[in-house]
Amino acid sequence: MGLSVAQKIIKEHLVKGEMIPGKEIAIRIDQTLTQDSTGTMAYLQFEAMGIDRVKTKRSVAYIDHNTLQTGPENADDHLYIQTVAKKYGIYFSKPGNGICHQVHLERFAVPGQTLLGSDSHTPTAGGIGMLAIGAGGLDVAVAMGGGEYYFIMPKIVKVNLKGRLQPWVSAKDIILELLCRLTVKGGVGKIFEYTGEGVKTLSIPERATITNMGAELGATTSIFPSDEITYEFLKAQGREKDFVEILPDPDAVYDEEIEIDLSSLVPLAACPHSPDNVVPVSELKGIKVDQVAIGSCTNSSYKDLMKVAKILEGKTIAEHVSLVISPGSKQVLSMLSQNGALASLVSAGARILECACGPCIGMGQAPRTNGISLRTFNRNFEGRSGTPSAKVYLVSPETAAASAITGYITDPRTLGDEPQVEMPKSFLINDNLIVPPAENPDEVEVIRGPNIKPFPQGKPLPEVVVGKVLVKLGDNITTDHIMPSNAKLLPYRSNIPYLSDYCLTPCDPDFPKKARENGGGFIVGGVNYGQGSSREHAALVPLYLGIKGVLAKSFARIHMANLINNGIIPMVFENPNDYDTIEEMDELKIENARDQIEKSDVLIIENVTKGLKYRMVLNLTERQRQMILHGGLLNLTKAKGMN
């Protein structure tokens, strides 16, 4: 039986398990990437493993998220990451060098290799034919140490691209079309693999726009074949030696199939407040725009910004519009300044921001109250822009530029002939903002500013676990409730003691105090506990406060994995009515905890205060049981070694 591109790469890297959808497998990781917001924790965890040097082929630490320096915290974090990278064999991409996914595509991504990144848009590198997966910082730390990455073998979905895009229709519209059809839940447990004649019409940055936003489908990853277009891109980046052809076998078997006729697509927009709330741009005609933001890891490549520059050339943006542009990388910005396109952008009225995530992560440029913001980004959740009442529409660079000129949401096809932009035969290569690791690690001192605090580590599970119910919560508690994140708290991502004062405070302002006074305890939740962002801090901070277990009616998948990674026991009520009998400050007790976790799928927990016993379901794989027994993934990794 023939194999698809994704299956070929998985097979080549398979360490454990079989490639059967739904079954757990483990793969070898060739490359890792981190960004600063998740990176500090990942490197503290890596240091705790006691390994001298990363074992990957290439690991890169990027600074692109928290680049505002309104106090010393972010600068302290950057210096810690820079020194830890130098010591342990990691390349360091300085602030100003660009957004992790854009720079990785340009300078590091290699077809056929595996990449694990502590950022949900890591699949961007799938545009170049890499199997690239986003994961928690601890998983990335383990991969840097040479450990395999465990995940559930996804279904492979063949996305057959027919025909070619019409003028003014772009790669962004392809992925918006898919989001419209499948919704933000449509990709869970799947890899989207693009094939068909339409693939050949798309450049690498266009392919990367599509794989980037596959994350919004909830997909494990997305991937394109590595073909002659991949070769041309790598050659233009001076990296033709990294090229390897990877095409699907003619008789490859896929689990599902979707067809998109590129020639039938029109410019699309995702309306507030979800990336799958998609309509044709023409239906939004006449909506007045306050802000246009162009950039992010989705749409900030050389080709994207050259297209915008050509559309804006000789024009002036509308009087009531603020246009902000964040180039994806120093390479992109340097080329735009060299060929004069930057002058077109500036003279049309664009405000040029640094090469970083910026407005996409809410670091500046929040729209006005009730403002309408058109963005080329990948997410438009309520409040993400920094203005809770703002309405954010996600569009292509072409639609964004057209609307900046008119001041109203505008279908770019109304502008007449589309300006053409060719992919450059050679990019401007200057890696002077990428600091290589030290040859002699002993000479490097890791500098920890006062914002770098030790992170909490789980302890092996005792025989008897006792504690009080510190809080009883309702349904759909998000990781944002558990560990709020905003521009004020983001600089403290490496300071768990500081963050712990805010744990669950949107639900119960006294929670941190109660946890401290009682030496930790239990959390009780309703349905879908821990939904939302994959935030690892929503497990690390409760661990710091001494949380031993969470009893809930059900858990969101990633948060449950993060709890287990940190040695906190997630337990599901076998009888949901038992939830009603628990009250705050009830004392709970688990007898023979180790034995129960090791041997049974149901754990008996006693409510000592009420004189009741509850049957709690454990949905754990064998490896997850070991993690709980050892007090988390880090301890298990230390105890068992990397493989």
Site membership for ligand SF4, residue 378 (CB under 6 A): yes
* DSSP letters for 474-537: -S--BHHHHS---TTTGGGTT-HHHHHTTTTTTT-TTHHHHHHHTT-EEEE--TTBTBSS--TH
Distances (CA, A) of 523 to 395, 510, 528, 539, 549: 41, 13, 14, 12, 7
Please report how close the Cβ of residue 588 comes to ligand SF4 at its closest, in angstroms.
Answer: 39
Site membership for ligand SF4, residue 394 (CB under 6 A): no
Please report how close the Cβ of residue 101 comes to ligand SF4 at its closest, in angstroms.
Answer: 6
The single residue among 42, 81, 360, 541 that binds ligand SF4, judged by CB under 6 A, is 360
| CB nearer to ligand SF4: pick between 361 and 550 | 361
| CB nearer to ligand SF4: pick between 380 and 406 | 380
Beta strands at 587-590 and 465-472: parallel, antiparallel or unpaired: antiparallel
Please report how close the Cβ of residue 557 comes to ligand SF4 at its closest, in angstroms.
Answer: 20
Site membership for ligand SF4, residue 361 (CB under 6 A): yes
Cis-peptide, bond into residue 104, ω within 30° of zero: no
Report helix, strand or coil for 395: coil
The token pair at 267 is: 């410019």
Which residues within the stretch 284-303 sit at the binding site for ligand SF4 (CB under 6 A)? 296-297
The single residue among 36, 119, 177, 411 that binds ligand SF4, judged by CB under 6 A, is 119
Site membership for ligand SF4, residue 468 (CB under 6 A): no
Please report how close the Cβ of residue 235 comes to ligand SF4 at its closest, in angstroms.
Answer: 26
Part of the chain binding ligand SF4 (CB under 6 A), chosen from 10-18, 222-230, 356-364, 500-508: 356-364
Report helix, strand or coil for 188: strand
Site membership for ligand SF4, residue 325 (CB under 6 A): no
| CB nearer to ligand SF4: pick between 261 and 480 | 480
- CB atoms under 10 Å from CB of 264, counted, come to 12
> Look-up: residue for tokens 């301890």?
635
Please report how close the Cβ of residue 361 comes to ligand SF4 at its closest, in angstroms.
Answer: 4
Burial class (CB in 10 A: 0-12, 13-18, 19+), 111: buried
Site membership for ligand SF4, residue 396 (CB under 6 A): no
Please report how close the Cβ of residue 208 comes to ligand SF4 at its closest, in angstroms.
Answer: 11
| CB nearer to ligand SF4: pick between 103 and 547 | 103
Site membership for ligand SF4, residue 93 (CB under 6 A): no
Please report how close the Cβ of residue 123 comes to ligand SF4 at its closest, in angstroms.
Answer: 11
Please report how close the Cβ of residue 48 comes to ligand SF4 at its closest, in angstroms.
Answer: 26
| CB nearer to ligand SF4: pick between 37 and 220 | 37
Site membership for ligand SF4, residue 217 (CB under 6 A): no
Please report how close the Cβ of residue 202 comes to ligand SF4 at its closest, in angstroms.
Answer: 20
Site membership for ligand SF4, residue 495 (CB under 6 A): no
Site membership for ligand SF4, residue 60 (CB under 6 A): no
Query: Distance between terminal CA atoms of the chain?
Result: 30
The token pair at 608 is: 């000592």
Site membership for ligand SF4, residue 121 (CB under 6 A): yes
Site membership for ligand SF4, residue 105 (CB under 6 A): no
Sequence-ordered list of residues with C-beta below 8 angstroms from that of 4, at least 6 positions apart, any chain: 156, 158, 193, 248, 249, 252, 253, 254
The token pair at 165 is: 């895009």
Among candidate residues 142, 138, 146, 123, the one with its CA nearest the CA of residue 39: 138
Sequence-ordered list of residues with C-beta below 8 angstroms from that of 109, at least 6 positions apart, any chain: 31, 115, 125, 128, 130, 132
Q: What letters, b where the CB count within 10 A reaches 16 and e where it falls short, cover 584-610?
A: eebbbbbeebbebbeeeeebebbbeee
Part of the chain binding ligand SF4 (CB under 6 A), chosen from 202-210, 309-317, 355-363, 400-408: 355-363
How many chain residues bind ligand SF4 (CB under 6 A)?
11
| CB nearer to ligand SF4: pick between 121 and 559 | 121
Looking at this protein, which amino acid is placed at residue 315? Answer: K
Part of the chain binding ligand SF4 (CB under 6 A), chosen from 190-198, 221-229, 264-272, 353-361: 353-361
Please report how close the Cβ of residue 106 comes to ligand SF4 at its closest, in angstroms.
Answer: 15
Part of the chain binding ligand SF4 (CB under 6 A), chosen from 13-21, 254-262, 354-362, 384-392: 354-362
Site membership for ligand SF4, residue 329 (CB under 6 A): no
Site membership for ligand SF4, residue 103 (CB under 6 A): no
Cα 124 to Cα 357: distance, rounded to the nearest angstrom = 15
The token pair at 13 is: 């890297």
Site membership for ligand SF4, residue 195 (CB under 6 A): no
Element (H, E) at 179: helix 171-182
Q: Specify whether the CB–CB gap between 221 and 133 falls below 8 A.
A: yes
Site membership for ligand SF4, residue 357 (CB under 6 A): yes
Question: What is the arrangement of strands in the sheet containing 58-62, beginning at the earlier edge strand?
Answer: 131-134, 114-117, 31-34, 58-62, 91-93, 434-435
Number of H helices, E strands in the chain: 21, 27
| CB nearer to ligand SF4: pick between 378 and 479 | 378
| CB nearer to ligand SF4: pick between 65 and 87 | 65
Cα 513 to Cα 516: distance, rounded to the nearest angstrom = 5
What does the binding site for ligand SF4 look like in residue numbers (CB under 6 A)?
A: 65, 99, 101, 119, 121, 296-297, 357, 360-361, 378
